[in-house]
Structures are given as C-alpha cells and as structure tokens.
Amino acid sequence: MDKYEFNIKAEQMRKMAEQGDYKTAMQIADTIDWRRVRNANLLSSVAEIYEHNKEYEEAKDILILAFERAPVGKRFLFKLSEISVEAGDIQEAQEFYREFCEMSPDDSRQYLLRYKILKAKGASNEQLIAPLEEYTSVDVDEKWLYELAKLYSDVGYEDECVKTCDKIMLLFGLGQYVDKAMELKQRYRELSKQQLDLIENRSLYEDKLKQASEQFEELNEKPSEINITNIRNHDNASVRQEETENNSVAEDSYDDNENTEETENTNSEETVSKDSGSGKSNENKVKENLNNYHMIIEAKSKEDGFKIAVDEIKYFHDKYGYDFKVAKTNSEKLNEKGFEAFKSKIEGKDLIIEDAGSLTYKVVDEIADYIDELEDPSSIILVDVVDRFDRMAEDRPLFIKKFDLVSDIEDDLVEDVQINQAEIPAVKDEKENIINYDKPKTVGKAENAAISKPKQNDVDNALPSDFYKEMDIDDFATYAQNYAKSIDCVLPGKTVLALYERIEIMQEDGIALNKASAEDLIEEAADKAEKSGFGKKLAGVFHPKYDKDDRLILREDCFVS
C-alpha cells in the first residue's frame, strides 16, 4: 500500500480504538505489515490494541519491533514485562524486568514492575508493600498511593493507611481516588474539617479549578496564519484552477508521485487567511462528536512535515466541511511565551507547531489542557523530523495518545527499477548458452593474467609491518576496540569484560594475539550482532541493535556464548 492508504488505515484504526471498538481496530491492524513501519510510537499504539483484545503474543511481537526502532527503548521493555504478567508468563516478565533494570537502574518504575510480578506470583500483602512504598516515594501517583493504602488496611497498619489517605486528599483534592481514599479513611478515623468542607463544597471547588485553568496572558506576538487554499498552488495558478484543486484534494492525495511533484512548486503565503467563519457554529456540539484531528507528524525534513500537515488539514476540512483559518508557530516561541499566552490568538483556528519535539514539558502540559477544554473541532498539529518525539513519548505517554500519528515512513523502502530493453543482451543462439563440460575451456594469456592470484609479496606489502606481531592482552584489547570504532561498532561496558574473557580463551587455544586476529574477532562479533534480526530472542532478552549514533552494538554474547 502507498503512504496515503497507510495513513487512512492507521487513522481508521485509531478512531476505532478511541471509540473503544478494539476488535475492529485489530481487524484493521491485521491488514498492515507492521515490519515496514519505523514509527515506534505508532507501533506502541498498535500493541495496545492487541493487548486490549488479549492477543498478548501479537502485542509483544509489535512491541519488539518498536523496541528495535527506538533510540531509547526502556518504555517498551517496561510494557513487555507488564504484558508478560498479564499473559501469565512470569518467567518472561522477570527477564524483561531484569533487562529494564539494567538499561535504566534509576527508573522508579522498576519497583512497580517488581510489585506486579510479586503479585502475579501470589506474594503476601506484606511483601507487596515494600516495592509500592519505593515507587510512590518517587512518583506521586494517586492510583498506586490508593493501592498502597489498601495494602496497609489489609495487613492492619491503620496509621499508615490513614496517613496515605490524607496524602491523596491533600495532593489531589478531587477525583475518583480521592473519593475512594475518603471512604477508606472513614473506616478508621473521622474526616478533618477541611476534608468535610471538600465534600460539602465539591461543585464550588470544581468550578474554581475550571476557571483557573482557563486563565491566560495576552500575547505580544501573534502566530502567523496560513492560507491552506493557496499553499499548494503554483505561483501563476488561476482562481479557477485553485477551485478545481480544492474540490479534488482527497483524490489528489492518493497519488504519491503527483503529490510530491506538485508540492515542490508551491508557494507559502502565511499572512493571508482563508475567507470564512471561525468555526464557532460547532460550539454547541457534544464534545465526543467534535471530530477533532489532532496529529503528530514525523517527516524526513521540516519542509516535508509542513506539506504533510497542510495536506492532512485540507483533507479533514473537505471531509467535514470545516472552514477554519490555520495558524503556524514553532517550539521556540511557545517555550519562550508559554502556550497559555497564545490561546486567545488561536481560538477557532487550527494550529501547526513546527519543531514540536523540542517543546518544554510545561508547554506540553498546557497544550494537553487546551485540547481537553476545546469546544470546537479546531485541532493541534505537531510537526518535527523523525524520532524527535521519542523523548516526549517516553515522559508524556498520555499526551501522545491525544494525537493521531502520521509518519512519512514508506518512502524509499521500495524503489522502482526501470529496465532498458536495449541493455539486455539478446540470446542469439540457444547453443551459445550451453557449456561443454567435456572439453576444458581455453583461456587466453590476457584473460589468464587478469584472473591469476596476486603474489603473496604484494599482499604483505599492503599490510602494516606489525600486522602479525605478537601483542599482550591489553594492547590486543585496545586495538580490537579501536578497530570496532573504525567500522562503526561500539562495545558497552560489560562487553569489554566479555572481550577480555574471549582473549583469554584465544590464548588457551594457542591463537596468536596480533592485529590480524583482533580484526577477525571484531568482524566475527559484528556478523553475529547483524544477524540478530527483528524480534530475535537472545537468552530471553531483547536489545536494540544500534545506538543513538547508528553504531552497531556488540554485546557480550557476540564474544562469549
């Protein structure tokens, strides 16, 4: 399928998932070859769909693909361990857990995984308390604080239970877990005056919270507006051509070749806006039926991302009959001013944010609040180059879920080959292709000279004089590591220990330690690392093949079995 068809299917799949129809979403997912998709965030969403359908093996396979493609894949290891617990495969869950701890020893979520694994193994409530205490001491999460309070209650730790319930009410004020904490505390103690006041005046506090979230500053700088009607028109296009193009946007988008050709000759007039209303006619619609199209767009370049954003906006405007103006800004302006300052300027408009992968988390949280408060179908489109959203997906996964992911993923995967008939030699006579094995073939002197083996002296002269000189273990290891760097490989810390172990084995086997054997050793290790294809299991643990600098990672098992 082409890129446009893929994006349509991915959008349909996500819409079904958002509506809770995970069965239909999975049926759509089954029609896509996910091995060709390099967007780790999208793969993560697909795995979630399979997880909801209890297709745990499929979910794990997709997560392994995502892990292979992510520069930092610890979140996928976390999810792989979590899904293994759900599937009842405790041994595999522990293997993923150990790898997660090794990759990220300071991540507090290791305690959460330990808690889930212990619970699945049937550990006592006393055993479950310790990892949950560790986790909630670092990450203040109302769900797991309440889970800890329940454990305290179950084992008879009344004081600890009450303190934890008080902490939940103090920190979060409102919400389902606050209500549950109040009920749990009332088993042992009476509520304080402040807590009773929270119950009696709940609606007042909810209104105040809503008003506070709607406050914003006035802007000194206004985001630029984009004319999406003219953005793809040629400089000398007539009004009639423009109207024709607008009426056939959806059809044109299916043809990737024409689309690419046309966008190369476009003109971006960012100060003129499309004539029409601001979209306020949809204010009274129920929020679930707003048909927003918030998107994250990953592309090969900033320019490609912007073109894709314009194409997608035009598609949805045509599909739903919207007539919004479109504004554009970038992460630098938003990080400086804050998103709240822009809200009054983008009301009733779609907003394209370029270089969005560099947004600060303060701005990200403000955008999330804005999306939750929207009362019209205007949308936010985040644009950046491929892999720039990985940090955000790692630390703000709930924010990422608010968006459809559109990625320029399938370009250059398959290249059409034009075969010139004139270049194909014709077979004049079938007999010419038959080799007579009974008669030895005579080779002319010139041909024989061309294929004759080079003299050993010529080979030796091309090598350094010390190429076969004996080396001690440390010099050998240093040369091997330097050679690995020269061929774009890298040895993590533990691999260096495995390298020394392998060198000792070589000594015991009587293999000479010289530059020649060092290069052979690294080449052999690189071959092993390359052969660990998608999803290959290495002692129950999955590793990324390349580091963030695209260097091949040589691991311990590449040197010592």
Q: Give the global pTM.
A: 0.43
- 34 neighbors 62 (Cβ within 8 angstroms): yes
Q: What is the C-alpha separation between 201 and 129, in angstroms, rounded?
A: 34
Q: What is the C-alpha separation between 359 and 79, in angstroms, rounded?
A: 25
Q: What is the C-alpha separation between 345 and 333, in angstroms, rounded?
A: 14
pLDDT at 504: 85
Rg (CA), the chain: 31
The dihedrals phi and psi of 512, each to the nearest 5 degrees, come to -65, 135
pLDDT at 442: 42
Q: What is the C-alpha separation between 373 and 9, in angstroms, rounded?
A: 28
* Percent with pLDDT over 70 in the chain: 70
Give 410 or 266, the one with higher predicted confidence.
Answer: 410
Question: Per residue, what are the HEC states of 407-454?
Answer: ECCCCCCCCCCCCCHHHCCCCCCHHHHCCCCCCCCCCCHHHHHHHCCC
Q: What is the C-alpha separation between 365 and 361, in angstroms, rounded?
A: 6
- Confidence band of 133 (pLDDT split at 50, 70, 90): very high
Q: How many CB atoms lie within 10 A of CB 77?
A: 28
**What would the pLDDT profile of 74-125 be if each residue is shown by its tens digit?**
888 899 999 999 999 999 999 999 888 888 788 888 899 999 999 999 989 9
Overall average pLDDT of the 350-378 stretch:
90
Q: How many CB atoms lie within 10 A of CB 102?
A: 13
Q: What is the C-alpha separation between 521 and 16, in angstroms, rounded?
A: 51
Q: What is the C-alpha separation between 345 and 334, in angstroms, rounded?
A: 13
Give 401 or 154, the one with higher predicted confidence.
Answer: 154
- Confidence band of 543 (pLDDT split at 50, 70, 90): low
Q: Which residue has the tokens 């220990």?
A: 497
* Domain 224-407 architecture: 3-Layer(aba) Sandwich (3.40)
- 263 neighbors 367 (Cβ within 8 angstroms): no
pLDDT at 212: 57
The pair of structure tokens assigned to 223 is 């985001």
**What would the pLDDT profile of 300-340 be if each residue is shown by its tens digit?**
888 888 888 888 888 888 878 888 788 899 998 898 888 88
* Domain boundary assignment for the chain: 3-214, 224-407, 422-462, 473-558
Q: Is the pLDDT of residue 25 over 90?
A: yes
Mean pLDDT check: name the lowest of 6-10, 198-202, 460-464, 500-504: 460-464
Three-state DSSP at 350 gives: strand
Q: What is the C-alpha separation between 51 and 30, in angstroms, rounded?
A: 14
**What would the pLDDT profile of 225-246 be if each residue is shown by its tens digit?**
555 555 444 433 333 333 333 3
pLDDT at 26: 95
Distance set, CA 123 to CA 115, 127, 129, 431 (Å)? 9, 6, 10, 79
- DSSP E strands in 74-229: the ranges are 224-226
Residue 324 identity (one-letter amino acid): F
Give 67's DSSP letter. Answer: H
- Confidence band of 214 (pLDDT split at 50, 70, 90): low
pLDDT at 311: 85
Q: What is the C-alpha separation between 30 and 206, in angstroms, rounded?
A: 43
Q: Which residue has the tokens 């998709």?
A: 37
Distance set, CA 411 to CA 92, 110, 299, 407 (Å)? 36, 38, 10, 10
* DSSP count for the chain of H helices, then E strands: 26, 8
- 393 neighbors 298 (Cβ within 8 angstroms): no
The dihedrals phi and psi of 229, each to the nearest 5 degrees, come to -70, -40
Three-state DSSP at 526 gives: helix
Q: What is the C-alpha separation between 502 and 194, in angstroms, rounded?
A: 67
The pair of structure tokens assigned to 438 is 């009974």
Q: Which helix (H) or strand (E) holds 322?
A: none
Q: What is the C-alpha separation between 96 and 81, in angstroms, rounded?
A: 5
Distance set, CA 230 to CA 201, 243, 382, 560 (Å)? 53, 10, 21, 62
pLDDT at 107: 84
pLDDT at 500: 84
Q: Which residue has the tokens 């260097």?
A: 551
- 125 neighbors 151 (Cβ within 8 angstroms): yes
Antiparallel, parallel or unpaired: β 224-226 and 325-330: antiparallel
- 381 neighbors 350 (Cβ within 8 angstroms): yes
CATH of 3-214, one of 1.20.1260.10, 3.90.1150.10, 3.20.20.140, 1.25.40.10: 1.25.40.10
Q: What is the C-alpha separation between 488 and 494, in angstroms, rounded?
A: 18
Angle value at C-alpha 141, between 138 and 147, nearest 5 degrees:
105
- Confidence band of 220 (pLDDT split at 50, 70, 90): very low
- 63 neighbors 43 (Cβ within 8 angstroms): yes
